[in-house]
Structure 1
């Protein structure tokens, strides 16, 4: 298995249902932490960043 094969497998995984579930949980946790640390002062920016990251991983 070459590097190209591994790259293709990684790309396929990142667009899978499993990756979507994992990324949603991680992104939600990170957003919650960021909002807690900042006292929700930047909640709109945090949510925007969370949504942008979510679009890059998974299938939704």
Structure 2
């Protein structure tokens, strides 16, 4: 584990350990995209349920 930390520090001394709550720009973008993806999945599930309800035949 220590070797990994040393390697990361050698590769990028400024951004190796940005600290708690401080993300690298690419990590921040990745987190944003994950959140957006989760929202879109939730919207899709809601639409699937609505389609199932509205496509029922009236009695």
Same fold at TM > 0.5: no
The TM-score bracket by the shorter chain reads 0.3 to 0.5
Ranked by relative contact order (alpha carbons within 8 Å, sequence separation 6 or more), the top structure is 1
Higher CA-based Rg: 2
- TM-score where L is the length of structure 2: 0.40
- Please give the TM-score of this superposition, normalised by the length of structure 1: 0.39
Higher helix share: 1
